[in-house]
Amino acid sequence: MPEGMPEGGVEVLRAMQVPTQRIIAIGLVLWAVALVVTLLVPALHEGERSWWPWGCVAGFVLGTIGFAYVRRGRGNAHDAG
């Protein structure tokens, strides 16, 4: 029987290790870039698109909250068992 297979024949699954903080940080940078672009290009924040900068701000704020949550150790599955 292969390693990691219990007697019942069902494979034991393990959580993937992903760089969560790095992924969130990249997302924050992308939201900040999107905000700058929408503010610099008038066609992206005038008329029916006037909410686009606020969407970028919301993404950045929620990402910051998520980053703080993960950084404190509550959002990662490292200690989950």
Flag whether pLDDT at 12 surpasses 90: no
Confidence of residue 11 (pLDDT cuts 50, 70, 90): confident
Looking at the domain assignment, is residue 46 inside a domain?
yes
Looking at the domain assignment, is residue 55 inside a domain?
yes
Predicted structure pTM score: 0.73
Domain that includes residue 37, residue range: 20-71
| Contact between residue 48 and residue 9 where contact means Cβ atoms under 8 Å apart | no
42-51 tens-digit pLDDT: 999 999 999 9
The domain total for the chain is 1
Looking at the domain assignment, is residue 44 inside a domain?
yes
Distance of alpha carbon 61 from alpha carbon 56, whole angstroms:
9
